[in-house]
Structure 1
């Protein structure tokens, strides 16, 4: 019988430029003083509970739009400059080396590259040329959950192999100065930038031992979360019905759990995508769980904003930082995004960490117990 794959501790990084809720509200009032629904927009932004967000560029540069091409070039440049450090953190957390990775899953909905970033990572960081590549670009905030589930599928098909997940979201590069509808203005005050990496380890490791996964698409909701792709780039479109999606997603989560005889309302820990506070409030209501159940997701929302596919990794890192649940505790990871799509993983906590057998030529390094890096803007590729 093969070992059950384990999702190890993520490595998280955020850019160094910070914008506060007060600055966001003041800016909305300055830029959109004549907007007929300014009061509503400011109330909605205030009600998100977001206190701080991290941005790739200073606020003045973020508000400029130099064109889609220049933005996409900046996305690629900064991702290449910043991701290796995050990836090395995840590998260290899993006691692995680049040569131990058999597949890289790369998720992002805020920039486009072809070949994928996976090709650059393999060429630049020393991964084996036969490392499989799986880029996921069109699942938005659900992509973090999809990456975990596809990594689980791979490790079940190829027992004891290892998958590296990399998530890179520079949401600030999607700011569109001409989009003035309420949904767009709310998004301007909600989304932030962040990066994450995590290993799904085929054998051993401390973290969530994934036992089941599933996906649910809510019919007739394709237009609720979407991009309009125009000359100026990606224009994020958010329907006012999105906050109420838990009415249909919570029963879908119950159904998935019932398939495997798991009661999703009676688990020990929950890592859930925090698109906004109502998502978490409604999930608490429909599953009859206390609000503290989703404290890690709420902390991510408060300190980072909605960081798209990175949310569940940031929240999971907070669970690790808290000391993690006891061995054998049952839990759930869920990401929600366009479609409307839910990607859900069920598993048990593995607090046991068998000794790692170093590969030949491997140097075993130590790392701080709770890495949460903020990388300098001056960290660029060599010229």
Structure 2
């Protein structure tokens, strides 16, 4: 069968927190808090145009809007990560038909909090992973880190045949809210980003899902200040340049080149898993790749229902493809994440339809942590 011998990205597990804020509530908050802002009307229009219906956050909105200081926020990040990640990991392992001790490497991606040692060490100590499991935390690729994690897992499996890699994305964007940041980019971000935890396994052998065949990275020269953090005593201050929505024009040819190097036409693929940074990103890429808007329906659904959940977007969009029944066996597809740099992390591969045999039931695999909403 096509794709049988290649590393395969299995069905992701995704959870979003229980606290919800709708777009209507976001707009009302913005109007109350920034009544005298000279560009309030522009900010409200931009938030409406995101297409985000609702977002999920780890704390009630009243608590989210308070800033107790960077130390307290980072403590909250660690507590919430340890509370919410394990159940998602268990379900990702179950989706891949693997046990924790069959994982050879863990790639952990997050740009919304900091831990040292990484959460990878805590997972190994508390969830039954082997002590010789490799650890690869990725903290500074922002939204592109989801694609980067998939690509590094592919590379690892290519270098170590029959190995299995767990990918974990933990993004609590609400912990980066800064009440004193009043520029248009910050106000837009306050209405765009949401919180989520996602995990998936790349199996070096067997499995069903996206069979990974080729990957690539690309950085648009001299754009490193377009998406960035200013790190201050109050924490991470997100900076978003107004030129970011224009980035699909230079990146679309890069996606075309990747597909072409693999003998494929990027306009005629069976499925597309694209980072949903915002509606214009998706609209422009549709136009430049000459594909129908429906081709990006999974990414649009993530944006509408969860907002921009940073590195977790591509995993959630892929999960939605699985829930739809997947693609035809052997269908070609592309996955791409975009983030600071401006960086694109891209992969192409074929859909692998036949599932691997299930191992013995994992301990606690069917349980969910309290306070989580299934994705």
Do the structures match in fold with TM over 0.5?
yes
Gaps of 5+ in 1: 378-383
> Are 1:209 and 1:349, in contact at CA under 8 Å, matched by a contact in 2?
yes
> Are 1:16 and 1:375, in contact at CA under 8 Å, matched by a contact in 2?
no
Name the residue aligned to 2:371: 376
Q: CA deviation at 1:260?
A: 2.1
> Are 2:18 and 2:56, in contact at CA under 8 Å, matched by a contact in 1?
yes
Q: Could you say what secondary structure the match of 2:222 adopts?
A: strand
> Are 1:3 and 1:159, in contact at CA under 8 Å, matched by a contact in 2?
no
1:256-288 deviation line (CA, Å, top 9, x unaligned): 222222221210100000000000000010011
The alignment status of 1:272 with 2:267, answered yes or no, reads no
1:210-236 deviation line (CA, Å, top 9, x unaligned): 000000010010000000000000000
Give TM-score scaled by structure 2 length. Answer: 0.96
The alignment status of 1:171 with 2:166, answered yes or no, reads no
Determine the C-alpha separation between the residues in 2 that align with 1:108 and 1:167: 6
> Are 1:3 and 1:203, in contact at CA under 8 Å, matched by a contact in 2?
yes
Q: Could you say what secondary structure the match of 1:302 adopts?
A: helix
1:100-120 deviation line (CA, Å, top 9, x unaligned): 000000000000001011001
Say how many residue pairs are matched: 370
Name the residue aligned to 2:259: 257
Structure 2 residue corresponding to 1:210, chosen from 206, 209, 212: 212
Name the residue aligned to 1:247: 249
User: Any residues of structure 2 matched to 1:352-363 within 5 Å, and which?
Assistant: 352-356=354-358, 358=359, 362-363=360-361
Determine the C-alpha separation between the residues in 1 that align with 2:328 and 2:302: 22
Q: Could you say what secondary structure the match of 1:219 adopts?
A: coil
CA RMSD between the two structures: 1.7
> Are 1:13 and 1:375, in contact at CA under 8 Å, matched by a contact in 2?
no
Detail structure 1 runs of 4+ shifted over 3 Å in the superposition: 362-368
User: Any residues of structure 2 matched to 1:38-53 within 5 Å, and which?
Assistant: 38-53=40-55
Q: 1:277 to 1:375 in 2, by over 3 A?
A: farther
Q: Could you say what secondary structure the match of 1:352 adopts?
A: coil
Gaps of 5+ in 2: none
1:70-101 deviation line (CA, Å, top 9, x unaligned): 00000000100111000000000000000000
> Are 1:25 and 1:45, in contact at CA under 8 Å, matched by a contact in 2?
yes
Q: 1:366 to 1:179 in 2, by over 3 A?
A: closer
Determine the C-alpha separation between the residues in 2 that align with 1:111 and 1:300: 22
